[in-house]
């Protein structure tokens, strides 16, 4: 009888695996934190405490990711910030999750390439993620270090990556958190957003980088890349650099980086290898498909110094509403 029960359980598991119902797939959260040298006022904005016990915005993203089911954290940082970063957050997170570090440096370039004279900043989010290539062998979610995303996006992306994503699919099977534009604005100035056009089947058709978005006299104004005024709908989806990607995406980054470097105009010392541009090119060439997973959570972040108090107040309200405990990891 025991043998029969065991046999049935094994067959059910085999059937679920064939049907794509595997529930034990590992997933990793990759946090792009190499740009945390950007300052406002007297301190590094991404490491400014916003919670009641010294928590920074990253703490809440990590908490939400672990709660959703992610089981590894990879921080992408600069080597010169390693000591401070570990003291402020890294050592704390190592107590609750598996943590690894990747280092983004200006001179981390393909063989045969060198840093142009006068170039001072790294090469953008594409290069940042590429630095984690040797640490990630499973579907992964990429986020910014200094954005609060809310719980819904982490859960939806994790569930998609575990239950629906085919990591080996061709074209690439990807997903993203689709935020509502009006939920991502700052009260203290303009913002830049990747405004999305979505196909009827819920996949991403186009991402257009749109600048200086701000309410003015009851109208949501913005400009395009050439400085021309454009109309934006407050209910449109926007990308906040919350991408769910298969591990073979690293191959795409590795292949594309030299091509990007080869096409930089001479004298351009600020060109960046950016995830939204890379993914947009993959969509347009038929090499990738991105499922837009809508999230209604309100984004917040510290774009301007005055935003910090808004973030502090927002976190306190979320704690008061029971969304988070006052001691986050207790």
* Residue 15 forms part of a structural domain: no
Q: What CA–CA distance (Å, rounded) separates 184 from 153?
A: 14
pLDDT tens-digit map of 77-126:
999 889 988 988 999 999 999 999 999 999 999 999 999 999 988 899 99
pLDDT at 14 exceeding the cut of 90: no
pLDDT at 137 exceeding the cut of 50: yes
* Residue 66 forms part of a structural domain: yes
Instruction: State residue 24's pLDDT score.
Output: 59
Quick one: average pLDDT of 271-283?
A: 93
* Residue 275 forms part of a structural domain: yes
Q: What CA–CA distance (Å, rounded) separates 59 from 31?
A: 11
What is the count of structural domains for the chain?
1
Q: Which residue has the higher pLDDT, 19 or 28?
A: 28
Q: Are 275 and 241 in contact (CB under 8 A)?
A: yes
pLDDT tens-digit map of 35-44:
765 444 445 6
Q: Report residue 124 CA to chain centroid gap.
A: 13
Q: What CA–CA distance (Å, rounded) separates 1 from 15?
A: 21
Instruction: State residue 34's pLDDT score.
Output: 87
Q: What CA–CA distance (Å, rounded) separates 275 from 207?
A: 11
* Residue 8 forms part of a structural domain: no
* Residue 2 forms part of a structural domain: no
* Residue 11 forms part of a structural domain: no
**Residue 139 is part of a domain; what is its CATH number?**
3.90.550.10
Q: Of the given ranges (98-102, 134-138, 266-270), which has the lowest mean pLDDT? A: 266-270
Mean pLDDT of the chain: 89
Instruction: State residue 13's pLDDT score.
Output: 41
* Residue 327 forms part of a structural domain: no
Question: Sorting pLDDT into bands at 50, 70 and 90, what band is 211?
Answer: very high
Pairing of strands 172-180, 288-295: parallel
Quick one: average pLDDT of 260-267?
A: 93
* Residue 1 forms part of a structural domain: no
Domain assignment of residue 106, given as a range: 26-320
Instruction: State residue 39's pLDDT score.
Output: 41
């Amino acid at each position: 009888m025991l043998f029969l029960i065991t046999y049935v359980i094994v067959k059910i598991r085999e059937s679920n695996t064939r049907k794509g119902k595997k529930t034990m797939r590992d997933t990793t959260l990759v946090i792009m934190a190499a740009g945390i040298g950007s300052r406002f006022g007297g301190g590094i904005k991404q490491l400014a405490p916003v919670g009641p016990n010294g928590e920074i915005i990253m703490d809440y993203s990590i908490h939400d990711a672990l709660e959703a089911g992610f089981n590894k954290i990879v921080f992408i940082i600069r080597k010169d910030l390693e000591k401070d970063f570990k003291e402020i957050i890294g050592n704390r997170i190592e107590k609750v999750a598996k943590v690894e570090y990747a280092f983004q440096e200006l001179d981390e370039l393909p063989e045969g390439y060198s840093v142009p004279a006068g170039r001072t900043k790294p090469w953008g989010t594409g290069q940042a993620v590429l630095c984690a290539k040797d640490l990630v062998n499973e579907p992964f979610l990429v986020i910014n270090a200094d954005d609060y995303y809310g719980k819904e996006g982490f859960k939806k992306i994790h569930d998609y990556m575990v239950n629906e994503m085919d990591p080996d699919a061709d074209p690439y099977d990807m997903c993203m958190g689709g935020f509502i534009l009006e939920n991502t604005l700052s009260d203290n100035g303009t913002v830049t957003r990747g405004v999305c056009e979505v196909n009827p089947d819920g996949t991403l058709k186009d991402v257009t980088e749109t600048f200086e978005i701000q309410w003015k006299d009851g109208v949501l104004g913005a400009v395009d890349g050439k400085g021309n005024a454009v109309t934006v709908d407050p209910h449109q989806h926007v990308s906040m650099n919350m991408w769910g990607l298969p591990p073979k995406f690293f191959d795409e980054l590795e292949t594309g980086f030299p091509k990007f470097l080869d096409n930089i105009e001479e004298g351009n010392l600020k060109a960046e290898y950016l995830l939204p541009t890379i993914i947009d090119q993959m969509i347009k060439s038929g090499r990738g498909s991105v499922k837009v997973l809508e999230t209604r959570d309100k984004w917040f972040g510290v774009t301007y110094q005055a935003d910090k108090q808004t973030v502090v107040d927002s976190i306190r309200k979320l704690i008061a509403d029971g969304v988070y405990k006052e001691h986050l990891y207790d």
